[in-house]
Structure 1
Amino acid sequence: MDSRRLLRTSAIAVATTGLLISGCSSGSSSTSATASAHTATDGDPGGAPSAEELAPYSSQKLSWRACGVAKFECATMKAPLDYAKPAGPSINLAVARVKATGPGKRIGSLLVNPGGPGGSAVGYLQSYAGIGYPAPVRARYDMVAVDPRGVARSEPVECLTGQQMDAYTEVDQTPDDPAQQTALTKAFKEFAAGCEAKSGKVLPHVSTVEAARDMDLLRQVLGDEKLHYVGASYGTFLGATYAELYPSRTGRLVLDGAMDPSLSSLDMNRDQTAGFETAFKSFATDCAKQKDCPLGRGSVEDASDRLRAFFKAADAKPIPTGQSRKLGEALATTGVIAAMYDEAAWPELRTALARAMKGDGAGLLTLADSYYERDASGKYANLMFANAAVNCLDAPPSFTGPTEVTAALPSFEQASPVFGEGFAWSALNCAYWPVKATGTPHRIEAKGAAPILVVGTTRDPATPYKWAQSLADQLSSGTLLTYEGDGHTAYGRGSDCIDTAINTYLLDGTPPAKGKRCS
């Protein structure tokens, strides 16, 4: 279970891998960069090139080709690999769009990002946002996505083969003795070494700041005066970073399932641990009302005890799955975690747990594979590779070695008796990363930005509600919209109240009233 800051929309509800974007290509013709007159460093604290230095990129014209389904178009945008050296090597970024359908006056482009880091924005656009966002929004916006650098089709970070990833996901992340601790640290070191060997060129250049600069470059290339954006989960950090760098160019930003950029990696991991405990309690409470609940129909504490006992048993004797891979504690825990993102997956989790407790781990293995984005052939998307690469670059590691993890275990186990130990040890992964972190946690105020809408769900497992409260408070123009419910993120998940408030903001720029709550 490698859950460190894997912040994305539900892998169960929205599949974002394996989608057709083969029509992407580079070239010239089509869109011009009418907005490139803005200085490249407006609002940027430093590190970005001047408008003149960026001109070869901001003046490029995208060659759009039909791709995927419906009326989707794809292209390739070039960006500097290193914005501090714009005359140096470039990086190719996959872009996709579906044009505004009308009726009504076109507002501009609406960029979308599903989170991760490592989630494919192009895949998300093609599988959901470009066809599933409310019709009035799609009528007046060109729906646009760019896979962030290092992700999916944008020169993806690669680290391990499919067989190596299978072994990595099975490593015990609740070590019982020094030998198991050594095995876990060895796995983290081998993962990092694989990333360096296969992707050493891009590893120093996949930070969130650089991805935000890419979004502004795309804004210019598309000819938009302002950047309009919907970011989910980690995508909220990307959107907030954009607003910090370019407040005068910030249009209508929806940050759904918000991160708190002021938190250290340690605090973020510990908060997320508590968030999954909250989600598990909601699941256990609901499970006790169902006739098929495998955790019993008693108290939440009883359910917690049963689940921990199940994990311990799977650790001692992995469960058959009908294939060569067995379900040990690590994969079993990941399968449960995957279902915590979306309450719609709870029935599937009940069935999978019941089967596993009777000796068939296939259902939980399927849930775990969905989390890791592993297909039936054994091939993994690059989600987990990009996730580590971005996270380890964005902030210093939670821990520098096993001794620090051991010291922090009590606080993690207090945050979650069920998941605490595994979450603590999984936060060790960045300790061995080959590239030193370039980012530091800090408050984001984005002074001068237009109103920004921050959305928080009260029982969100991956991005705890207090993070949304904190980000809305930090942003000088932030407004908090609250969803009283379960699951990760809120937009498009069944609340008419939430959807109406967000749609209104996107269409006329008016955020909901202060303190607006939906259920």
Structure 2
Amino acid sequence: MQVPLDWSEPGGAKISLFMTKIKSTSTTNGSGNKIGSLLWNPGGPGVTASITCQLIATGQIEYFSPALYEHFDIIPQLFVDDAASFQRLADWNRAFGNSCWLTFGLALNQSLSGNATLLSTTVQTAVSNDAFSGIVIGCLDWTAKNALFPEHQALQQLGSVVAPHTLGANQFFQHSSWCINWPVPIANPPHWLNAAQVTKLPPDSVLLVNAEFDPETWYMWAQGLKDQLTTSAANGDSKAVVLMRKGDGHTSYAIQGQAARIMDAFWVNRTVPGNGTVVDS
């Protein structure tokens, strides 16, 4: 599929995108229970859906429930079709696998002497660096407001007080550091939902699931989005319900607990849980 490299210039340069799909098991077993396609974005920057999808399809990892496999074709978001980049990743993984234990031992030994260089994140200086694409995407979504060192230092101190166990280390803090003086304007800044589009949604058509202590996306974010999906509606009806999973960790479906079963029922049977439902797993 050919799409614009820059959506603000639809007639400009094009790039190729590819799509992977896990076919519904009802396609092969003839049950006729297929509902449709489930578009899946496992998150990011940070997780590659296409590779994860291939690992699922080949049985190397388990992610979705049998119910979802039966009722849906599972399709991750589209990705750049770049064979050279894929081969570079494959070669890097092989080299890393062959050397990681020796390097890790060396890193630990050096850290005992006060040199933690090998345990630190490498500064990304070129498009060939492994994490470059993630930084670019992150800096196009978020801005670094701490442009001066005292501001950056104050943010570190605040994090160490608010989260003494992790000292405030999280994905947001990474981007607040990486994106300092980023030269390209933000393309997709955080914004309120489009009220006109919200009114078109059926009642309770959105299920928001959040862990109580998610270190990446706070529970209050889910509540804030729920409020927008309610107050933006012209007739005041709610377009969403919130489900809270007790505990921590980022996302809830992959652990295949109670929250995952409720999500399955929502997708397959349109069973809507009560707003504010709390589960233990």
TM-score (norm: length of structure 2): 0.70
Q: In 2, are the aligned partners of 1:472 and 1:480 still within 8 Å (CA)? A: yes
2:14 — aligned with what?
90
Inter-partner Cα distance in structure 1 for 2:250 and 2:40 = 16
Inter-partner Cα distance in structure 2 for 1:471 and 1:152 = 35
Inter-partner Cα distance in structure 1 for 2:58 and 2:206 = 22
User: How does 1:178-327 map onto structure 2 within 5 Å?
Assistant: 321-323=104-106, 326-327=110-111
What secondary structure, in the 3-state scheme, does the structure 2 residue paired with 1:428 have? helix
| CA distance 1:470–1:421, change in 2 (3 Å) | closer
Q: Report the AA paired with residue 490 of structure 1.
A: S
1:386 — aligned with what?
133
> Are residues 1:438 and 2:187 paired?
yes
Q: Report the AA paired with residue 37 of structure 2.
A: S
> Are residues 1:138 and 2:62 paired?
no
| CA distance 1:461–1:396, change in 2 (3 Å) | closer
What is the CA distance between 1:454 and its match in structure 2?
0.8
What secondary structure, in the 3-state scheme, does the structure 2 residue paired with 1:443 have? coil
| CA distance 1:112–1:429, change in 2 (3 Å) | same
> Are residues 1:475 and 2:229 paired?
yes
Q: In 1, are the aligned partners of 2:50 and 2:79 still within 8 Å (CA)? A: no
What is the CA distance between 1:95 and its match in structure 2?
1.0
User: How does 1:60-71 map onto structure 2 within 5 Å?
Assistant: none
What is the CA distance between 1:492 and its match in structure 2?
3.3
Q: In 2, are the aligned partners of 1:505 and 1:511 still within 8 Å (CA)? A: yes
2:253 — aligned with what?
491
What secondary structure, in the 3-state scheme, does the structure 1 residue paired with 2:180 have? helix
What is the CA distance between 1:111 and its match in structure 2?
1.5
Alignment: residue pair count: 236
1:80 — aligned with what?
4
What is the CA distance between 1:321 and its match in structure 2?
4.1
What secondary structure, in the 3-state scheme, does the structure 2 residue paired with 1:499 have? helix
Q: In 2, are the aligned partners of 1:399 and 1:405 still within 8 Å (CA)? A: yes
Deviations, residues 96-126 of structure 1 (Å, cap 9, x unaligned): 0122221234222112122121421111212
Inter-partner Cα distance in structure 1 for 2:275 and 2:186 = 37
Q: In 1, are the aligned partners of 2:23 and 2:72 still within 8 Å (CA)? A: yes
RMSD of equivalent CA atoms = 3.5
What secondary structure, in the 3-state scheme, does the structure 2 residue paired with 1:513 have? coil
Inter-partner Cα distance in structure 2 for 1:429 and 1:115 = 19
1:312 — aligned with what?
none
What secondary structure, in the 3-state scheme, does the structure 2 residue paired with 1:462 have? coil
Inter-partner Cα distance in structure 2 for 1:89 and 1:128 = 34
Inter-partner Cα distance in structure 2 for 1:480 and 1:153 = 41
| CA distance 1:489–1:457, change in 2 (3 Å) | same
Q: In 2, are the aligned partners of 1:130 and 1:138 still within 8 Å (CA)? A: no
Q: In 2, are the aligned partners of 1:93 and 1:154 still within 8 Å (CA)? A: no
Inter-partner Cα distance in structure 1 for 2:22 and 2:156 = 48
Q: In 1, are the aligned partners of 2:107 and 2:118 still within 8 Å (CA)? A: no
> Are residues 1:506 and 2:267 paired?
yes
User: How does 1:50-69 map onto structure 2 within 5 Å?
Assistant: none
Larger deviation: 77-86 or 475-484?
77-86
Larger deviation: 421-430 or 451-460?
421-430
Corresponding residue to 2:144 among 397, 405, 410: 397
Deviations, residues 454-474 of structure 1 (Å, cap 9, x unaligned): 101112222222222222332
Q: In 2, are the aligned partners of 1:396 and 1:439 still within 8 Å (CA)? A: no
Inter-partner Cα distance in structure 2 for 1:467 and 1:129 = 33
| CA distance 1:408–1:487, change in 2 (3 Å) | closer
Q: In 1, are the aligned partners of 2:208 and 2:240 still within 8 Å (CA)? A: yes
What is the CA distance between 1:330 and its match in structure 2?
6.9
> Are residues 1:126 and 2:54 paired?
yes
What is the CA distance between 1:453 and its match in structure 2?
0.9
Q: In 2, are the aligned partners of 1:112 and 1:144 still within 8 Å (CA)? A: yes
| CA distance 1:324–1:498, change in 2 (3 Å) | closer
Deviations, residues 182-210 of structure 1 (Å, cap 9, x unaligned): xxxxxxxxxxxxxxxxxxxxxxxxxxxxx
| CA distance 1:135–1:508, change in 2 (3 Å) | same
Corresponding residue to 2:177 among 428, 434, 437: 428
What is the CA distance between 1:389 and its match in structure 2?
0.7
| CA distance 1:330–1:452, change in 2 (3 Å) | farther
What is the CA distance between 1:130 and its match in structure 2?
8.2
Q: Which has the higher contact order (CA 8 A, sep 6+)?
A: 1
What is the CA distance between 1:505 and its match in structure 2?
1.0
What is the CA distance between 1:152 and its match in structure 2?
7.9
| CA distance 1:425–1:460, change in 2 (3 Å) | closer
What is the CA distance between 1:388 and its match in structure 2?
1.2
| CA distance 1:418–1:98, change in 2 (3 Å) | closer
Inter-partner Cα distance in structure 1 for 2:208 and 2:106 = 44
Q: In 1, are the aligned partners of 2:140 and 2:189 still within 8 Å (CA)? A: no
Unpaired runs of 5+ residues, structure 1, are: 1-76, 167-319, 335-367, 370-379
Unpaired runs of 5+ residues, structure 2, are: 97-102, 123-127, 231-238
What secondary structure, in the 3-state scheme, does the structure 2 residue paired with 1:96 have? coil
| CA distance 1:104–1:79, change in 2 (3 Å) | same
What secondary structure, in the 3-state scheme, does the structure 2 residue paired with 1:97 have? coil
Q: Report the AA paired with residue 191 of structure 2.
A: H
Q: Report the AA paired with residue 430 of structure 1.
A: C
Deviations, residues 276-330 of structure 1 (Å, cap 9, x unaligned): xxxxxxxxxxxxxxxxxxxxxxxxxxxxxxxxxxxxxxxxxxxx94347844557
Inter-partner Cα distance in structure 2 for 1:489 and 1:413 = 24
Inter-partner Cα distance in structure 1 for 2:37 and 2:268 = 12
Aligned sequence identity (%) = 27
> Are residues 1:458 and 2:212 paired?
yes
TM-score (norm: length of structure 1): 0.40
Inter-partner Cα distance in structure 1 for 2:10 and 2:84 = 18
Inter-partner Cα distance in structure 2 for 1:502 and 1:124 = 20
Inter-partner Cα distance in structure 1 for 2:253 and 2:242 = 13
